Structure 1
Amino acid sequence: MRFFNTEGPVRADKHYLLPPLQRWHLDEVLALIEGEKYFLLHAPRQTGKTSCLLALMAHLNREGRYRAVYANLEGAQAYRERIEPAMATIVTDIAMWASDGVGDTEAPALAREVLAQTPPGSALGVFLSRWCARLEAPLVLLLDEVDALVGDTLISLLRQLRAGYTKRPNAFPSSLVLCGVRDLRDYRIHSSAQQAVITGGSAFNIKAESLRLGDFSEAETRTLLQEHTQETGQVFTPEALQQVWTLTQGQPWLVNALAYQACFRSPEGRDRTRPIDAAMIEAAKEHLILNRVTHLDQLADKLREERVRRIIEPMLAGESLEQLPLSDLEYLTDLGLLRQRNGGGIEIANPIYREVLPRTLALVPQASLPSISPTWLDEQGQLDPEQLLAAFLDFWRQHGEPLLKSAPYHEIAPHLVLMAFLHRVVNGGGTLEREYAIGAGRMDLCLHYGAVTLGIELKVWRDGRPDPLSRGLGQLDGYLAGLGLDGGWLVLFDRRSAQPPIEERTGVDEALSPGGRRIQVIRA
């Protein structure tokens, strides 16, 4: 039985898969290898990079013109900038991968000999020279997880590879692939020895190309899902196929994870006579988010980085991105957090990531919430919007000020505290959806609980800006129209300086939107 893969490289005998070399333009790659080029492959985590490298190694070795060897360098990461043990690990690991992967049993002995006789700063270069000199075919070396290395260790690796470049193909790798999450331009190496930042481009200026492995197309996503149908007879409804694409935008791990949860983990999905429908895909999405699976947790962990915060914080607030370094945008794109729309603008890469980011940021305020009695429920256990409004106002007056300090992103602290409160409200009995975009000037929330749907718009009044009420009413009108609602909340957070305490300035009024909708205007 095969299944959808969410851990490690794909195997044709175990996993549904798209042939890896079809995803990576093979003709272009082979032309680079034929030209004895050194180049990069980069893509976000868990998109299939290692699978592509292993498939390329197998393809080249089958043809017989080259000796292709894959090696993962991640083992040297633990040594950080301690060059001697790090280089010893790299040389040893390359030799072991050669022995285990392609049967070159002499490589480990050569590695031990070189390490015993050669200083660490040149051990890799010497090993590669001696190794290539005795091979019968030109060596194509595929090095994975290169950007896991840091500082002086990474500098040493890149410079030894550059130093041996002119000796190829007889006494150095004929062609070389460096693989990682980031492009070479973002190998910003803080050298402790030189107290400076060295870019990857200056340390490795022999790069011919930088190839990026893309996400699945919509057609590829459907093809992968239909492998399950062909093998088991269990179909995906058209709505489910569309939902997988909509939620993931083809991000390979997300596609596999949603399908695996729906088809192999949920009780309904394990019944092969039952079609996989859109509701099951939606339930799978919620499972992945609520259980903070490793892929999403790693992604959310990046939110702590300052260069990530500089972009994600204004995006969540709906502000424009101004005077941001291009390198920051490129970094977030390489991580897979952002994508560029056809029109040229940037946005969060897919709806699941768009949901995960604010949820993650709201976790600390959510954990800091006091005990709250669910006074928003009526005697039948249904949500009462008027009681919910009263409960929020009471909560905000009592606890808003201290909870704002717990939010990790200061500029959107009110948004995060309100979302934390609403998560306590839904608490497994409903859902909370979010919409935000660069330059929109707002964040929209949609709360579903039983038969109740509540549309909420959040705006911030900052120093030097006009009262956002008028614009907010117009924006909320369009949002509510899309939801088919005739009323909602407009929450205006007053973040101007020298304002009275929260408990004094928090209140609610009623207003009509331009479309005649009844709006509760909450000033907080």
Structure 2
Amino acid sequence: MPRWFNTAGPCRPDIHYMLPALRRLPDVQRLIAQEGYFVVHAPRQVGKTTALLSLAQELTAGGRYAAVLVSMEVGAAFPQDVGTAELAMLDDWRNAAEAQLPPELRPPPFPEAPEGNRIGSALAAWAKAEPRPLVVFLDEIDALRDETLVSVLRQLRSGYLNRPRSFPVSLALIGLRDVRDYKVVSGEEDRLGTASPFNIKVRSLTLRDFTAQEVAELYAQHTADTGQRFEPEALALAFELTQGQPWLVNALAKVAVEELVPDISKPVRRADIEHAKKLLIDRRETHLDSLAERLREPRVRRIMEPMLAGLALGDVPEDDLRFVQDLGLVRMAQGGGLGVANPIYREVIPRVLSSTAVASLPPQTSTPWRRADGRLDMARLMEAFLAFWRQHGQPLLGTAHYHEIAPHLVLMAFLHRVANGGGTLEREYAVGTGRMDLCLRYGPDTLAMELKVWRDGEKDPLEEGLAQLDGYLAGLGLDSGWLVIFDRRGGQPPISERTHASDAVTPAGRRVSVVRA
């Protein structure tokens, strides 16, 4: 049977290319042997369900335990109705047990119990009836909230004292977040924190991303099955773009081999991976969409907005910092410094944030910046941008959810319109840099831009911006570019009156355009 790169649901070794699921959870079997209750948390689509389902099957097949993975997600529909949520979950558990366990290890009929005690009673009856110690992995636990979440956690804590014969010998909570970050009520500010009823956990584990070697190992399975190889440059770019995020690793390869290079006699090249990246971003696949939804959450915005603006984080709660890392949006560099988790997310985030501005643009009736031969006319592009900014800049600033980078997002909305004619727009930003870099590539033409903001109480950023633009242009091998300075000081004339461009020279002697907007 042919195998495929999987981008939806748990991996199955008979039909999907996959790496050993437990390689990225080296401590979990020791915790089970120690009869521990623990947490496994990681972002969506990194393989949590695949890993724990595989472990459950391995433990059961080994003959020592009866192990099963069950989901809590069906209970999420009833956050205030504990009894209905319990019944829905237990019904779903029975189906999961029948699919995963041989008949002799399946649970007995769950006993009648009062509302608020049905989960604990079911687990107790199951553990007592099992001929082997029972191990249970509770997937999607943080889908629950309100009274249902607190009730389930309290039932688990109460039953913990009765293990191993009258309650699961080992149990894991599996979700996006660690226990203290589970929502108690709707909204991001109301979380369990240190008051979590599940104070019996011995460890919180997380699933790491793939290494560069593991990306190559996964792609090599396709080569072994089909003969189609990935060129070394393609492998290197796949890891560079994804930083090993498992869904992205699989999605790039899936688009490359199924859509771009379906002829298995031809290798997958670097250009194919680059093209696959663009398609994924343009389509806003499900995983990228779910990631984008997080950007409006207050705890995420407190981290992402200053990062995009190049500002220091300021007095951000440590819980918020850890939460955004747990979501997989950002990561801490080895030498310190917070950055977006991978280049694909770095492209997706500002594109999502500028989508309202893009939708608010008037219909495009012409492309004056495109020459007859299809190349960019830089002078006309400047004229078009200045006219656009004078006319639309002020009203469009109000469409941006992230106030600190509102002008950046409006500018990107304009540049997306240019890039949609056959180009790409790349972005660079990080905490504390005081800037955002944009690179518009259009056929053989490349335009690099440095974006700065002039705020109240600060000096004119022209001198610093020219020096920073010098370094950016040098890295791209360019002799010219734009320095765009957004004046956000109070008491300024209207945008239509103060927007203009002038020529300047960088410290290294490059002739550039300075846009005051």
Under TM normalisation by the shorter chain, which class is it?
A: over 0.9
Matched, 1:460 2:453: yes
2:374 corresponds in structure 1 to: 381
The superposition leaves residues 15-74 of structure 1 with CA deviations (integer Å, 9 ceiling, x where unpaired) of 11101122221xx22221111110011111011111111111111111111111211111
Partners of 1:492 and 1:140 in 2: CA distance? 60
TM-score by length of 2: 0.97
1:204 corresponds in structure 2 to: 198
1:406 corresponds in structure 2 to: 399
1:56 corresponds in structure 2 to: 55
> Structure 1 residue 200: deviation in Å?
6.5
2:122 corresponds in structure 1 to: 127
1:236 corresponds in structure 2 to: 230
> Structure 1 residue 196: deviation in Å?
7.2
1:141 corresponds in structure 2 to: 136
The one of 423, 433, 453 equivalent to 1:430 is 423
Secondary structure of the 1:246 match is helix
1:321 corresponds in structure 2 to: 313
2:28 corresponds in structure 1 to: 29
Partners of 2:368 and 2:355 in 1: CA distance? 22
Contact 2:182 2:191 in 1 (8 A): no
Matched, 1:420 2:420: no
Partners of 2:411 and 2:78 in 1: CA distance? 43
Partners of 2:83 and 2:220 in 1: CA distance? 50
Secondary structure of the 1:503 match is helix
1:90 corresponds in structure 2 to: 89
1:172 corresponds in structure 2 to: 167
> Structure 1 residue 191: deviation in Å?
9.0
Partners of 1:124 and 1:62 in 2: CA distance? 26
The one of 175, 181, 186 equivalent to 2:181 is 186
Partners of 2:504 and 2:428 in 1: CA distance? 23
Opposite residue 23 of structure 1, the aligned amino acid is R
Which deviates further from its counterpart, 205-214 or 95-104? 95-104
Partners of 1:510 and 1:227 in 2: CA distance? 55
Partners of 1:289 and 1:78 in 2: CA distance? 31
Judged with a 3 Å threshold, the aligned counterparts in structure 2 of structure 1 residues 8 and 388 are, in CA distance, closer, same or farther, namely: same
Contact 2:183 2:190 in 1 (8 A): no
1:253 corresponds in structure 2 to: 247
Contact 1:71 1:143 in 2 (8 A): yes
Partners of 1:3 and 1:428 in 2: CA distance? 33
Partners of 1:75 and 1:200 in 2: CA distance? 26
Opposite residue 372 of structure 2, the aligned amino acid is E
Opposite residue 284 of structure 1, the aligned amino acid is A
Contact 2:108 2:126 in 1 (8 A): no
The superposition leaves residues 50-106 of structure 1 with CA deviations (integer Å, 9 ceiling, x where unpaired) of 111111111111111111121111111111221111111122222332223213489
Partners of 1:103 and 1:230 in 2: CA distance? 33
Contact 1:99 1:106 in 2 (8 A): no
> Structure 1 residue 109: deviation in Å?
6.0
Opposite residue 18 of structure 2, the aligned amino acid is L
Partners of 1:201 and 1:215 in 2: CA distance? 30
Partners of 1:431 and 1:123 in 2: CA distance? 55
2:269 corresponds in structure 1 to: 277
Opposite residue 214 of structure 1, the aligned amino acid is R
Judged with a 3 Å threshold, the aligned counterparts in structure 2 of structure 1 residues 85 and 106 are, in CA distance, closer, same or farther, namely: farther
Contact 1:308 1:332 in 2 (8 A): yes
Partners of 1:382 and 1:419 in 2: CA distance? 20
Judged with a 3 Å threshold, the aligned counterparts in structure 2 of structure 1 residues 487 and 404 are, in CA distance, closer, same or farther, namely: same
TM-score by length of 1: 0.95
Contact 1:44 1:336 in 2 (8 A): yes
Partners of 2:231 and 2:406 in 1: CA distance? 41
> Structure 1 residue 201: deviation in Å?
5.4
Partners of 1:88 and 1:246 in 2: CA distance? 46
Matched, 1:442 2:435: yes
Identify unmatched segments of 5+ residues in structure 2. none
Judged with a 3 Å threshold, the aligned counterparts in structure 2 of structure 1 residues 504 and 109 are, in CA distance, closer, same or farther, namely: same
Contact 2:390 2:495 in 1 (8 A): yes
> Structure 1 residue 188: deviation in Å?
3.9
Matched, 1:297 2:289: yes
1:519 corresponds in structure 2 to: 512
Partners of 2:221 and 2:192 in 1: CA distance? 46
Opposite residue 300 of structure 1, the aligned amino acid is A
Partners of 1:507 and 1:55 in 2: CA distance? 61
Identify unmatched segments of 5+ residues in structure 1. none
Opposite residue 225 of structure 1, the aligned amino acid is Y
List structure 1 segments (4+ residues) > 6 angstroms apart after TM superposition: none
Secondary structure of the 1:356 match is helix
Partners of 1:483 and 1:197 in 2: CA distance? 45
> Structure 1 residue 149: deviation in Å?
0.6
Opposite residue 215 of structure 2, the aligned amino acid is T
2:503 corresponds in structure 1 to: 510
Contact 1:426 1:449 in 2 (8 A): yes
1:10 corresponds in structure 2 to: 11
Secondary structure of the 2:312 match is coil
The superposition leaves residues 162-211 of structure 1 with CA deviations (integer Å, 9 ceiling, x where unpaired) of 0011100010010001101111121242399xx97533753110000011
Partners of 1:198 and 1:321 in 2: CA distance? 24
Aligned length: 514
Partners of 1:480 and 1:228 in 2: CA distance? 39
Contact 2:295 2:301 in 1 (8 A): yes
Matched, 1:162 2:187: no
Judged with a 3 Å threshold, the aligned counterparts in structure 2 of structure 1 residues 261 and 196 are, in CA distance, closer, same or farther, namely: closer
Contact 1:96 1:107 in 2 (8 A): no
Contact 1:191 1:198 in 2 (8 A): no
The one of 316, 332, 342 equivalent to 1:340 is 332
Opposite residue 285 of structure 2, the aligned amino acid is V
Contact 2:453 2:486 in 1 (8 A): yes
RMSD of aligned alpha carbons: 1.6
Partners of 2:304 and 2:251 in 1: CA distance? 25
Partners of 2:505 and 2:338 in 1: CA distance? 33
Secondary structure of the 1:243 match is helix
Partners of 2:333 and 2:346 in 1: CA distance? 15
Partners of 2:474 and 2:239 in 1: CA distance? 25
Partners of 1:89 and 1:105 in 2: CA distance? 24
> Structure 1 residue 304: deviation in Å?
1.2
Contact 1:487 1:518 in 2 (8 A): yes
Judged with a 3 Å threshold, the aligned counterparts in structure 2 of structure 1 residues 72 and 197 are, in CA distance, closer, same or farther, namely: closer
Matched, 1:38 2:37: yes
Secondary structure of the 1:444 match is strand
> Structure 1 residue 107: deviation in Å?
5.8
Matched, 1:366 2:361: no
Judged with a 3 Å threshold, the aligned counterparts in structure 2 of structure 1 residues 9 and 197 are, in CA distance, closer, same or farther, namely: closer
Contact 1:461 1:496 in 2 (8 A): yes
